[in-house]
């Protein structure tokens, strides 16, 4: 590019303009004080230094402008970021499933009647939770290096990706930072984690992730919610069962003036008097006992699940309890008058109804919405057909035949226009589809079986699907044969004065049309049918029209002439005539 009297590289000039415009944009939109902006820049620079890693020493030798270009901003629509968002979504779902395991840590010691802690389970859960929290921290770092599409700017119909680190950091600090920070606190934070999942789904759908467009994703997500809430409800039921038994012990100790610290196994005294007293006050088998009403937690106390050290047994039993009561909306729960227990039962019932409603709603949207649209299109089309038949005053028997055909067409195609779908695909894909659909049928024709693949591809490209209802008269004896039929489904009968021939799936009719196309003397006069063809049932077939076959023959005339009896006879006659002339000339030479 020429600017003034100097030659300037276009890339450098554009980069200078873009850098200046970005600096101007950041000055215009920024309403921070100098101290606040320096803080944001410091945070962004610290993240840059973490990303540079082992290249730090090498970067010291790079000029300032070149090192700035090393700080790459991730495109929000890139495949890498889509995969990372999908991984982080799975991490979020795994984290939601991990937190309820903390409720299984307290264990009732049934022999000493004290509260114990499962330290092995607690250690494993804490380690896994720490690893998942590290992924949350890594996600926060990625957020500072991920651009976003500015809604107010458009470039060739697409939003412009903002790559200014200051603007990106400001946007993240004012949007999702608080939720991410709360999500990695050392306490289970279920609400922030649920709130973090929705923006991830939104980002994946906005970036047109192929996995999110599949139908089973919505169904699978709702099923996962059902399994997750069953896990959470079961864990809460176990924890509240332990809490209710511990409450019973406390009330008994208050009446007997014993120390509450003796209820914990670490401080428990080595005598059987307290254990016997607690067993009598809070019996493990509650059948017919009116000493303490455990309500909906009676099953946990009677089964001994609160005192089990077998985690798998305890987890599966509690999970089954949660799933069973969620699916039945808590109808079988028998609560006591304890307010907390009643509220928990209400949560179980409402959650079960909400999950079932969401699942049914998703199934209706996914599986019935498209069918409803097709049915509405069919209804509108039949209404138009009925109005047209009334306007033309067609007889009732003819109207019934038209309705029968339209209904059969709907049942076969479900309202899908197959031809338009295939025609919209690239040519190489269409060729493979045609081979899959038609090759086995057309190879049954002896003359087609001898042709090469290029010729057969051209023939397949001109085949079109046709439908015939029962008792349809397809060809009459003496009529011109304007198409060649390849039967896919159904039964036909070919009748003549000499008898009848039955045609079924895999057969073909109209081979005489191929002879007509190979005849060099045939122009507009079509082959005449010598039989009457009638559909005995609903027939689905593929048709090759006469003009299409003639067109293919003209494009591959040398191949068609090779298989034409007329052309072979003509060629043989020409060769014989040339040979006779050659012999006569050879015999006439000595006379000269």
Least confident among 151-160, 276-285, 372-381:
151-160
Once rounded to an integer, what is the mean pLDDT over residues 526-551?
86
Asked if 180 and 200 count as a contact pair (C-beta separation under 8 A), the reply is no
CA dihedral 496, 502, 508, 514 (to 10 degrees): -20
* Helices 453-460 and 427-442: angle between axes, nearest 10 degrees: 100
Per-residue pLDDT at 55 exceeds 50 = no
| Highest mean pLDDT, choosing among 142-146, 533-537, 565-569 | 533-537
Q: What is the dihedral of CA 352, 357, 360, 365, to 10 degrees?
A: -150
Q: Concatenated DSSP letters for 294-338?
A: -GGGHHHHHHTGGG---HHHHHHHHHHHHHHHHHTTTTT----S-
More confident residue, 232 or 67: 232
Q: Is residue 343 scored above 90 in pLDDT?
A: yes
Best CA proximity match to 245, nearest among 276, 281, 204: 281
pLDDT at res. 156 = 40
Predicted local distance difference test score (pLDDT) of residue 481: 85
pLDDT surpasses 70 at 204: no
CA dist 72 and 170 (Å) reads 17
The pLDDT of residue 66 is above 50: no
Query: Across the strands, what pairs with 544?
Result: 484
For residue 282, pLDDT over 50 is answered with yes
Which one of 191-195, 544-548, 559-563 scores highest in mean pLDDT?
544-548
Is a pLDDT exceeding 80 seen at residue 49?
A: no
Among 128-142, 194-208, 285-299, the range of highest mean pLDDT:
128-142
- pLDDT classification of 3: cutoffs 50, 70, 90: very low
Over 60: is that where the pLDDT of 200 sits?
yes
More confident residue, 137 or 476: 476
Across residues 501-525, what is the average pLDDT?
A: 77
Residue 53's pLDDT is 44
User: Domain 441-562 classified CATH 2.60.120.10?
Assistant: yes
Q: Grade residue 36 by pLDDT with cuts at 50, 70 and 90.
A: very low
pLDDT (0 to 100) of residue 427: 86
* Distance of alpha carbon 474 from alpha carbon 494, whole angstroms: 10
3-state secondary structure of 202: helix
120-160: pLDDT as tens digits: 998 998 898 888 878 777 777 777 777 666 655 444 445 56
The model's confidence at residue 510, banded by pLDDT at 50, 70 and 90, is confident
pLDDT in the model for residue 97:
85
SS3 content of the chain, % helix, strand, coil (to 5): 65, 10, 25
- Whether 317 has a pLDDT exceeding 90, the answer reads yes
Q: Report pLDDT for 234.
A: 92
Q: How far apart are CA 145 and CA 384, in angstroms?
A: 58
In the prediction, which pLDDT does 482 show? Answer: 86
The per-residue pLDDT for 550 is 79
Kindly indicate the confidence band of residue 40, based on its pLDDT and cuts at 50, 70 and 90.
Answer: very low
> Could you tell me the two tokens for 583?
């012999």
Q: Is the per-residue pLDDT at 555 higher than 90?
A: no
Provide the pLDDT confidence category of residue 400 given band limits of 50, 70 and 90: very high
pLDDT at residue number 446: 78
Structure confidence at residue 215 (pLDDT): 60
Q: State the pLDDT at residue 269.
A: 54
What digits encode the pLDDT tens for the residues 15-32?
444 344 444 444 443 433
Confidence label for 4 from pLDDT (cuts 50, 70 and 90): very low
Minimal CA–CA distance to 132: which of 101, 179, 90, 166? Answer: 90
pLDDT band at 257 (very low <50, low <70, confident <90, very high): low
Read off the pLDDT of each residue in 476-489 and give the average, rounded to a whole number. 87
**pLDDT at res. 575:** 82
- Among 70-84, 273-287, 474-488, the range with the most confident prediction by mean pLDDT is 474-488
286 within 8 A of 294, measured Cβ to Cβ? yes
**150: alpha, beta or left, given left = phi > 0 and alpha = psi -120 to 50?**
beta
Q: What pLDDT is attached to residue 190? A: 60
Predicted pLDDT at 480: 86
**What ranges do the domains of the chain cover?**
1-30, 79-93+100-137+189-357, 441-562
Looking at the chain, the whole-number percentage of residues with pLDDT higher than 90 is 11
Say what the pLDDT of residue 27 is: 42
pLDDT tier at 544, thresholds 50, 70, 90: confident
Does residue 318 contact residue 234 with C-beta atoms inside 8 Å? yes
The lowest-confidence range among 94-98, 190-194, 249-253, 351-355 is 190-194
Q: Which two tokens stand for residue 65?
A: 């402008």
Q: What is d(CA 229, CA 351) in angstroms, rounded to the nearest whole number?
A: 8
Report d(CA 514, CA 70) in Å as an integer.
68
Residue 453 has what pLDDT? 79
> Is pLDDT above 90 for 319?
yes
């Amino acid at each position: 590019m020429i600017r003034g009297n100097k030659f300037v590289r276009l890339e450098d000039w554009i980069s200078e303009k873009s850098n200046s415009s970005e600096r101007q944009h950041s000055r215009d939109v920024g309403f921070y004080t100098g101290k606040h902006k320096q803080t944001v820049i410091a945070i962004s620079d610290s993240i840059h230094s973490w990303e540079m890693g082992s290249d730090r020493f090498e970067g010291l030798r790079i000029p300032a402008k070149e090192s700035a270009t090393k700080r790459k901003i991730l495109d929000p629509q890139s495949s890498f970021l889509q995969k990372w968002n999908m991984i982080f979504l799975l991490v979020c779902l795994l984290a939601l499933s991990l937190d309820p395991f903390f409720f299984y840590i307290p264990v009732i010691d049934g022999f000493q009647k004290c509260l114990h802690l499962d330290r092995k389970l607690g250690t494993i859960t804490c380690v896994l939770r720490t690893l998942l929290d590290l992924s949350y921290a890594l996600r926060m770092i990625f957020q500072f290096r991920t651009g976003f599409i500015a809604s107010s700017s458009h470039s060739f119909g697409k939003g412009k990706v903002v790559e200014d680190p200051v603007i990106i950091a400001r946007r993240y600090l004012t949007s999702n930072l608080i939720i991410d920070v709360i999500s990695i606190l050392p306490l289970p934070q279920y609400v922030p984690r649920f709130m973090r999942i929705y923006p991830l789904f939104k980002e994946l759908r906005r970036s047109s992730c192929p996995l999110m467009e599949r139908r089973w994703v919505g169904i699978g997500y709702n099923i996962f919610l059902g399994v997750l809430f069953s896990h959470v409800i079961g864990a809460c039921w176990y924890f509240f069962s332990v809490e209710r038994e511990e409450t019973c012990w406390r009330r008994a100790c208050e009446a007997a003036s014993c120390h509450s610290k003796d209820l914990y196994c670490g401080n428990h005294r080595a005598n059987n008097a307290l254990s016997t007293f607690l067993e009598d006050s809070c019996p493990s088998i509650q059948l017919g006992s009116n000493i303490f009403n455990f309500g909906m937690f009676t099953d946990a106390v009677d089964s001994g699940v609160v005192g089990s050290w077998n985690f798998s047994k305890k987890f599966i039993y509690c999970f089954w309890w949660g799933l069973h009561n969620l699916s039945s909306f808590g109808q079988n729960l028998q609560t006591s008058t304890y307010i907390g227990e009643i509220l928990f039962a209400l949560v179980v019932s409402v959650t079960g109804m909400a999950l079932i409603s969401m699942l049914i709603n998703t199934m209706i949207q996914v599986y019935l919405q498209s069918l409803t649209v097709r049915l509405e299109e069919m209804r509108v089309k039949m209404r138009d057909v009925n109005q047209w038949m009334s306007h033309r005053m067609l007889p009732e028997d003819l109207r019934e035949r038209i309705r029968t055909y339209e209904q059969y067409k709907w049942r076969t195609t479900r309202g899908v226009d197959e031809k338009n779908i295939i025609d919209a695909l690239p040519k190489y894909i269409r060729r493979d589809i045609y081979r899959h659909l038609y090759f086995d049928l057309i190879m049954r024709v002896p003359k087609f079986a001898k042709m090469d693949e290029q010729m057969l591809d051209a023939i397949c490209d001109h085949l079109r699907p046709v439908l015939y209802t029962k008792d349809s008269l397809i060809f009459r004896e003496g009529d011109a044969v304007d198409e060649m039929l390849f039967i896919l489904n159904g039964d036909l009968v070919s009748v003549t004065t000499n008898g009848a021939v039955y045609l079924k799936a895999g057969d073909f009719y109209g081979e005489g049309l191929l002879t007509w196309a190979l005849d060099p003397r045939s122009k507009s006069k079509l082959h005449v049918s010598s039989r009457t063809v009638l559909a005995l049932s609903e027939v689905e077939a593929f048709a090759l029209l006469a003009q299409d076959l003639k067109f293919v023959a003209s494009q591959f005339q040398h191949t068609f002439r090779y298989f034409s009896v007329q052309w072979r006879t003509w060629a043989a006659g020409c060769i014989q005539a040339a040979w006779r002339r050659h012999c006569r000339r050879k015999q006439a030479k000595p006379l000269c």
